[in-house]
Structure 1
Amino acid sequence: MEEQKENRPQAARSEPPKAPIRAACPPGRQHCRISDQEPNEKNSTASSNDFSDPVYKEIALANGYINRMTRDELRSKLAEFKLETRGVKDVLRKRLKNYCKKQKLMQKEPINGESYYDYICVVDFEATCEEGNPPEFVHEIIEFPVVLLNTRSLEIEDTFQQYVKPEINPKLSNFCINLTGITQEVVDKADTFPQVLQNVIEWMRQWELGTKYTYSMLTDGSWDMSKFLNIQCRISRIKYPSFAKKWINIRKSYGNFYKVPRNQTKLTIMLEQLGMNYDGRPHSGLDDSKNIARIAIRMLQDGCELRVNEQMHAGQLMTVSSTAPLEGAPAPQMPRYRN
């Protein structure tokens, strides 16, 4: 429900110095040659965590040269490295920079593959609504979709979708039906939220999330967890589920990674900037989740480390620092009922 979701401010842009560079790629891949000028390789024994290490100067020099490339030059170089060539110029520039940075750092020290989530669960609820969304209206979840994204293969491995029967406003407004495509007959036949949540948890357990595999939740904005799920748990008289207390807000991640303002982080705009079209029916929770997953896949391909950046703490929405330890969500458990 994109119209009901808020954007948040993003970090300011900063650009490194400008000069040509060549960055090496691993065996079997083309060299990340940006120009024919070679960097000075002296004093390369510094720690990889020391930003005085010459490798970071080489990366900065390469970034500067990439900054001066035209869109056609960027596309040509990306094609040379067999990378995606779709997207606006800023996205192409970021893609090339991250590819060259990754190859240079991989040459210096292997990447620790154990430091990342194995899976990302993309969620985009649909909820009851009225035209104009009056402030006193209570939103109830009527569609619970989850898209399971494998961060290693960068593929969608499975999906979950169930509709939910609302309790407070059991009759859907015409506005809600037209927006979501969910009919009155569908929600009348659906299970109540606690049963659907139990089904979600069983599905997640089948995939061994939080036990054999690490994972994180991901949403398009803050509202899915901090508003819709929070309100729904109160309506259903159950505790807020522990596995959903922290999540990746992809709007924040996208804005920070590609250095774009918050008004350019809506779902359709993110897709457009990445050179993709929306696939499916807008405001279908499952289709929205699949399209959000497509954005996440492209960001991972471009070198973004999607990580938890928001959480619910004591019933309040809070930001998670980018320096916080990378921790997966706990094994899903059905929350207790409230007294």
Structure 2
Amino acid sequence: MEEQKENRPQAAPKEAPAPPAPAACPPGRQHCRISDQETNGKNSTASSNDFSDPIYKEIAITNGCINRMTRDELRSKLAEFKLETRGVKDVLKKRLKNYYKKQKLMQKEPINGDSYYDYICVVDFEATCEEGNPPEFIHEIIEFPIVLLNTHTLEIEDTFQQYVKPEINPKLSNFCINLTGITQDIVDKADTFPQVLQNVIEWMRQRELGTKYSYSMLTDGSWDMSKFLNIQCRISRIKYPSFAKKWINIRKSYGNFYKVPRNQTKLTIMLEKLGMNYDGRPHSGLDDSKNIARIAIRMLQDGCELRVNERMHAGQLMTVSSSVPLEGAPAPQMPRYRN
């Protein structure tokens, strides 16, 4: 539902490859090559966040070398490590830095791969809308998609999609039909939101999310949960579901990880900067969710630990600090009806 959002005010794979060869600048660039002998044989007792450890000096020197590489040099080095070579120069630099840092830190102290979410559930609702989105217009969810991303295989493992019958404005505007591709006939035949939510919860339970496997929700921005789902639960007279009270806002994660401003975190721009094209039909909830999942996969490959950064509390949107311990969402349960 990117267009509606924009018009409003507002882990890597478990099996690590062999440690990389030291990053090196091309001939003629001085003090760029790092020898493994610089840190071999030094038994440091420093903790992983103690930057007096010699390994961090080595990482810092390598980062400086990477900063001086051209795009072609970056792509060559990434190809050498069998890493993705698509993307703008800043993305390539970040990818190479994180790969090198991760490999060096794993030599020092192996990372516990069991500490991250097993799955990420990507959601991107489609909702009723009118051209210009008048402030008094009440948006109702008309498509509920989920893309299940396996963080161990870094693949989309499964998908869920159901359309929803709106109650307050049952007749879709021509603008909404043209934008989303969802026709009047589709929503007329669909279940109401409480039944669709029950189906969602059953689908998640069958995949043992929150019981056998840890997971987190992920959205493209704040609006899906804080606005669309929040409003829809009030319309349907049900409590806000507990499994959706915390989520990863990938726009925030992308901006913080690649150090780009908010105006460069739209779905299409994120894909472009990562060297990818949009697959499918824009403003299809399921296709949007799949493309968001592709961005999440690339970020995990680049060394980003996607983690919960937003939550709902007492009906209000709040930020979650990155220092909060990583915790998966609870097992999904159907919320109670409001009195």
Common topology (TM > 0.5): yes
Q: 1:5 to 1:236 in 2, by over 3 A?
A: same
Deviates more, 1:230-239 or 1:24-33: 24-33
- Preserved CA contact (<8 Å) 2:13 2:151: no
The answer to whether the 8 A contact 1:21-1:58 is kept is no
What displacement does 1:214 show? 0.2
Moved more, 257-266 or 7-16: 7-16
* Compared CA separation, residues 139 and 163, structure 1 to 2 (3 A): same
Are the structure 2 counterparts of residues 201 and 27 from structure 1 closer, same or farther at C-alpha, using a change threshold of 3 Å? farther
Q: Tell me, yes or no, if the aligned pair for 2:22 and 2:36 is still in contact at 8 Å.
A: yes
Answer whether contact 1:9 1:261 (CA < 8 A) is retained.
Answer: no
C-alpha contact (below 8 Å) 2:12/2:301 kept by paired residues: no
CA deviation profile, 1:124-159 (whole Å, cap 9, x unmatched): 000000000000000000000000000000000000
CA-to-aligned-CA distance 1:266-321 (integer Å, 9 cap, x gap): 00000000000000000000000000000000000000000000000010000000
| Alignment partner, residue 55 of structure 2 | 55
User: What is the TM-score with the length of structure 2 in the denominator?
Assistant: 0.91
Q: 1:172/1:24 Cα in 2 relative to 1: closer, same or farther (>3 Å)?
A: same
In 1, Cα distance between the equivalents of 2:280 and 2:58? 43
Q: Does the C-alpha gap of structure 1 residues 12 and 49 become closer, same or farther in structure 2, counting only changes over 3 Å?
A: closer
Q: Which residue of 2 aligns with 1:313?
A: 313
Shift of 1:70: 0.4
Q: Which residue of 2 aligns with 1:303?
A: 303
Q: 1:261 to 1:195 in 2, by over 3 A?
A: same
Residues 139-193 of structure 1: CA distance to partner in whole angstroms, max 9, x if unpaired?
0000000000000000000000000000000000000000000000000000000
Any stretches of 5+ residues in structure 1 without a counterpart?
Answer: none
Q: Is the 8 A contact 1:17 1:60 kept in 2?
A: no
Q: Distance in 1 between matches of 2:303 and 2:10?
A: 18
The residue number in structure 2 matching 1:294 is 294
CA gap 1:35/1:6 in 2 versus in 1, 3 angstroms: farther
| CA RMSD, Structure 1 to Structure 2 (Å) | 5.9
Distance (Å, rounded) in 2 between the aligned partners of 1:200 and 1:134: 30
> 1:163 — aligned with what?
163
Distance 1:43 1:23, change over 3 A: farther
Describe the shift of the 1:55–1:332 C-alpha distance in structure 2 as closer, same or farther (beyond 3 A).
same
Deviation at 1:198, TM superposition (A): 0.1
Give the TM-score of the pair, scaled to structure 1.
0.91
Aligned 8 A contact 1:25 1:104 in 2: no
DSSP 3-state at the match of 2:129: coil
Instruction: Report the count of equivalent residues.
Output: 339
Distance in 2, matches of 1:71 and 1:25, equals 12
Deviation at residue 122 of structure 1 after TM alignment:
0.1
Task: Tell me the residue number matched to 1:177.
Answer: 177
Instruction: Say if 1:210 and 1:330, in contact at 8 Å, map to a contact too.
Output: yes
Q: Which runs of 5+ in 2 are unaligned?
A: none
Q: Deviations over 1:222-271 (max 9, x none)?
A: 00000000000000000000000000000000000000110000000000
Q: Please say if residues 22 and 37 of structure 1, whose CA atoms lie closer than 8 Å, have aligned partners that are also in contact.
A: no
1:39 Cα shift? 5.8
Q: Tell me the CA shift for residue 57 of structure 1.
A: 1.2
Q: Hey, what's the Cα distance between the residues in 1 that align with 2:81 and 2:28?
A: 12
CA contact (8 A) 1:46 1:52 kept: yes
Residues 108-128 of structure 1: CA distance to partner in whole angstroms, max 9, x if unpaired?
111111210000000000000
Cα distance in 2, alignment partners of residues 334 and 248 from structure 1: 21
Task: Classify 1:167/1:155 alpha carbon distance in 2 versus 1 (closer, same or farther; 3 Å).
Answer: same
**Greater Cα offset, 136-145 or 59-68:** 59-68
In structure 1, C-alpha distance between the alignment counterparts of 2:201 and 2:31, rounded to whole Å: 45
Residues 201-228 of structure 1: CA distance to partner in whole angstroms, max 9, x if unpaired?
0000000000000000000000000000
Contact 2:19 2:103 survives alignment (8 Å): no
Q: Secondary structure at the match of 1:22?
A: coil
> Over residues 74-107 of structure 1, what are the superposed CA-to-partner deviations in whole Å (9 max), with x where a residue is unaligned?
0000000000000000000000000000000010
**Pair 70,236 (structure 1): closer, same or farther in 2 beyond 3 Å:** same
Residue 177 of structure 1 contacts residue 183 of structure 1 at CA under 8 Å; is this kept in 2?
A: yes
Q: Using the alignment, how far apart are the partners of 1:194 and 1:19 within structure 2?
A: 51
Q: Contact 2:20/2:103 (CA < 8 Å) preserved in 1? A: no
Cα deviations by residue, 1:29-67 (Å, 9 ceiling, x for unpaired): 999987799568656332223221111111111111100
The change in CA–CA distance for 1:116 and 1:271 in structure 2 (over 3 A counts) is same
* Contact 1:13–1:259 (8 Å) recurs in 2: no
Q: Identity percentage over the alignment?
A: 92
Q: Equivalents in 2 of 1:28, 1:317: separation in Å?
A: 53
Q: Is the 8 A contact 2:12 2:303 kept in 1?
A: no
CA distance in 1, matches of 2:261, 2:130: 29
| 1:9 to 1:29, Cα distance in 2 relative to 1, 3 A | farther
**Partner of residue 208, structure 2:** 208
